[in-house]
Structures are given as structure tokens and as C-alpha cells.
Amino acid sequence: MKKINVGMIGYKFMGKAHSHAYRDLPMFFPNTLHPEMKVICGRNLNGVAEAAKQFGWEEYTTDWRSLLQRDDIDLIDINAPSDVHKEIAIAAAQAGKHVFCEKPLALTLKDSREMLQVVNAAGVKHMIGFNYRFAPAVMLAKKLIDEGRLGDIYHFRAFFLQDWLIDPNFPLAWRLQKDIAGSGSHGDLGAHLIDMAHYLIGGIDEVIGMNETFIKERPIPTNMTGLSATGNKNAEKGEVTVDDATLFMARFANGALGTFEATRFASGHRSTNSFEINGSKGSVIFDFERMNELQVYFTDDREDVQGFRRVLATDPAHAFAENWWPPGHTIGYEHTFIHEIVELMESFREDRLPVPNFNDGVKCQEVLEAVEQSIETRQWIKVSDV
């Protein structure tokens, strides 16, 4: 069976998640194309060398441009910090390489639109990393909506709550610097909520929002790895240039109303990624901390048994489930990345664009920037106007 040779740029949090997906996919999905873990790239020689050994890559390098010159590399996987997404993705596409890029697609809408234009002109496949779409329980919610079993959709409310920045002495990691990350909780966490809304409900017409940066300065870090950083609380401090929390309301093109909340200052919430959808015939509730479950309610149930029921999305009737364990045996966060890579590999086998792709990344970026404009002007902003 043909294999897809991968060159991956980035080796920390997302690098580990992607590597795990590439490595485990052939064991559980033997009938799709398989990724070949050829080269991993990172800026720190010792760090990337250790990652290559730990994750199972054949080679390592500190020069990402060298990957684009190799005939044995088919796909470039970009999970490095957000400020380098544009340069690498454009160069990769122009070199004829297919591109898988983590979200957000770019720091700005202008840059993301340019990236989309280049990959389309190059005729390469492109995918963006919105892994939460690939939880089987989320895909069940999508199925219920598409089949009309929830009726007309009235409400979408979503929140992504974390608390890892509560300590004011947590160092000034790169995710807190606008020139590298683009934005804070809004672009990091809120982007997932926006994509989920697009996936489940459809396009967003207009938005109004507000945000806050609660801790204005933090100690300069001595080391950063993934979501963690170390430093001395008495060290020199630098300015936090992104939002700590962003909230916004939205009106969907189909008339539904939406509320969105993304924060890193919700004490007790390690990673509460949740949504509720209310329709004329029923409702669903999802919380990624219990990712194998979907709470489902139908209005036409008999009155004496009406109420939310817990559906465990591990039976073979649910997406991807038959490739894993017996019913009732749960899967975890890492499996959403494997499912994501299955979609990517299937797009090669079927010669089509994978979903979600850069088009979805641009749609998400449009909403992100519309919210930012709304916050600046303190008024409703039409997404189509950004």
C-alpha cells in the first residue's frame, strides 16, 4: 500500500500529538494509506534530536527549508508557533508539497487568505488542525442535526475554560505574546469553538464581543515547553499583549443565536471545552472532559421519561468506533488526532481535499477578526465586512 512521506516542523505539544497519530494509525486503520515518519524539524538541535528518538522519526533537522527540497517528502506538517505558519505553508505549497497546518491558520485574516490563495494556485492538498471535530460524540451531534432530528436550531452556546494562567507569576510564555501567537484565549481556545459552530450550525453573520487581560505583566521565562514554562518570579517582567478572556455573542446566517466564552482564568477548569445546542425537536450537550458522551434530549419522548439521556459514543454505530475497543471502552484526546490523520490519508486515497481545510481556517479567522473589530468599536460587526 502506498505511503505518504511526512516532514514535520515542530516537536513539542502538538508535535507529540501529531507524531502519536502518525505512529498509531496503521495499527488501528490498516485499510487506509499510511504516513511514513521521515523527518522532524525544530530550532533546538538537542531538543529535536531527542524528540526524533522518542517519537519514532527516521531523521531530524533544524532547517525546515531543507525538507522542501527533498523529493521523498510528500506532506509538510506545521505545528510550530503561529507566527511561522504563513511563511512555511506558502513555501511548502510553492515547492509542490501538501500542507497540514495547526490552527490558527495565521496571525491575521489577510495572511490566512494569502495562504489559501497560494495552496489553491499550487494545486496541493491542504488541511487545518481542528481536531475536536473528530470526537465520535461530536460527530453524532452533527449527524442528529443533519438528519433533522433536533429540528430548527435556535441556540448554540459554547465555552472553553482553562485555568493554567491563574498564577500571576506564571512566566510570559510565547502564547502570551501577540507578535507570536496572534491573540490569547480568543485565537487559541475560541478558534476551536468557532470552528465547532461552523461545523455543526453553519456560517456566522454578525458578532459583538468584549475581552480582558487580567494580568498585564509576567516574568520573562527561562524555558518554554508546550503549555508549560519556567522562570523566576522575581525576574524582569514583560508585557502580556494578548487577551486572557474573550466573550462574544453571534447571530448565525440561519437565524440561530450563539454565545461564546474562552478564558484561561476559570479556576478549577483544566480544559472544559463544551457546547449546548437547542432545537425545536431536541437538544444536545457535549463536554470534552467527558468526550465519549453526548447528552441528548428529544421533545417527542413520552412525558413520563422525558429528560436528557447519556449516549456513550463507543458502539460500532458511531464514527471511527469499530476501529477501537469493544463497546464501553473509552478513547481519549489523542484519538481525535488519529481520526484527523485518517481523514487526511483518505483524502490522498480518494484524491480530494480533506476537511477541514484552509477554507475553514479562513472562515474561522474572519470571525476572530470580526470579534476583535467589535471589541475595538464597541458595536456589532458583520463578518462579511471584515
Q: 183: which 3 cell numbers?
A: 491573540
Question: Mind listing the pLDDT tens digit for each residue in 304-322?
Answer: 999 999 999 999 999 999 9
If asked whether residues 11 and 139 sit together in one domain, one would say: no
User: Count of alpha carbons within 13 Å of 245, Cβ hemisphere only?
Assistant: 17
- What is the band of 59 on the pLDDT scale with cuts at 50, 70, 90? very high
pLDDT at 226 over 70: no
Q: 200: which 3 cell numbers?
A: 455543526
Q: 63: domain CATH number?
A: 3.40.50.720
Which pLDDT value is given to residue 280?
Answer: 98
CA distance 386 to 381: 8
DSSP sequence for 292-318: TEEEEEETTS-GGG-S-EEEETTSTTS
If asked whether residues 260 and 162 sit together in one domain, one would say: yes
Give me the mean pLDDT over the 131-154 stretch: 98
pLDDT at 227 over 70: no
Which pLDDT value is given to residue 174?
Answer: 84
Give me the mean pLDDT over the 323-330 stretch: 96
Q: Is residue 351 domain-resident?
A: no
Instruction: Give pTM, 2 decimals.
Output: 0.95
What is the average pLDDT value for the chain, to the nearest integer? 96
If asked whether residues 222 and 320 sit together in one domain, one would say: yes
Residues 302/313, Cβ–Cβ less than 8 Å: no
Location of C-alpha cell 478558534: 191
Which domain, by its residues, includes 270? 134-332+364-377
If asked whether residues 304 and 197 sit together in one domain, one would say: yes
If asked whether residues 109 and 71 sit together in one domain, one would say: yes
Give me the mean pLDDT over the 101-126 stretch: 97
- What is the band of 221 on the pLDDT scale with cuts at 50, 70, 90? confident
CA distance 178 to 106: 12
Which pLDDT value is given to residue 230?
Answer: 72
Q: Which of 12-16, 63-67, 218-222, 373-377 has the lowest mean pLDDT?
A: 218-222
- Cα 350 to Cα 37, 129, 353, 354: the distances in Å are 21, 20, 9, 10
Question: Mind listing the pLDDT tens digit for each residue in 277-312?
Answer: 999 999 999 999 999 999 999 999 999 999 999 999
Question: Mind listing the pLDDT tens digit for each residue in 162-217?
Answer: 999 999 999 998 889 998 888 899 999 999 999 999 999 999 999 999 999 999 99
356 preceded by cis ω (within 30°)? yes
If asked whether residues 145 and 102 sit together in one domain, one would say: no
Q: Whose CA is closest to 255, among 216, 293, 300, 204? A: 204
Give me the mean pLDDT over the 68-73 stretch: 97
Choose one of 77, 111, 132: the last residue of a domain: 132
- Enclosing H/E stretch for 114: helix 109-122
Choose one of 100, 132, 164: the last residue of a domain: 132
Q: Is residue 340 domain-resident?
A: no
Q: Please indicate whether residue 135 or residue 2 has the higher confidence score (pLDDT).
A: 135
What single DSSP character describes residue 33?
A: -
DSSP sequence for 321-359: GGGSSSTT----HHHHHHHHHHHHHHHHHHTS--SS-HH
Strand, coil or helix: 126: strand
- What is the band of 378 on the pLDDT scale with cuts at 50, 70, 90? very high
Which pLDDT value is given to residue 187?
Answer: 93
Which pLDDT value is given to residue 225?
Answer: 64
CA distance 269 to 289: 10
If asked whether residues 249 and 125 sit together in one domain, one would say: no
If asked whether residues 45 and 190 sit together in one domain, one would say: no
pLDDT at 1 over 90: no
Give me the mean pLDDT over the 229-256 stretch: 91
Handedness of CA 371, 373, 378, 379 (dihedral sign): negative
If asked whether residues 188 and 96 sit together in one domain, one would say: no
Which pLDDT value is given to residue 318?
Answer: 97
Q: In what order do the strands lie in the sheet with 98-102?
A: 59-61, 34-41, 3-9, 75-78, 98-102, 126-129
Give me the mean pLDDT over the 110-136 stretch: 98
Q: 278: domain CATH number?
A: 3.30.360.10
104 preceded by cis ω (within 30°)? yes
Give me the mean pLDDT over the 129-134 stretch: 98
Choose one of 132, 147, 162: the last residue of a domain: 132
If asked whether residues 327 and 199 sit together in one domain, one would say: yes
Q: Which of 142-156, 209-223, 356-370 has the lowest mean pLDDT?
A: 209-223
Cβ-count burial 253-280 (b if 16+ within 10 Å, e if not): eeebebebbbbbbbeebeebbbbbbbbe
Which pLDDT value is given to residue 229?
Answer: 73
Number of domains making up the chain: 2
CA distance 165 to 297: 35
If asked whether residues 237 and 301 sit together in one domain, one would say: yes
Q: What is the crossing angle of helices 191-200 and 136-146, to 10°?
A: 40
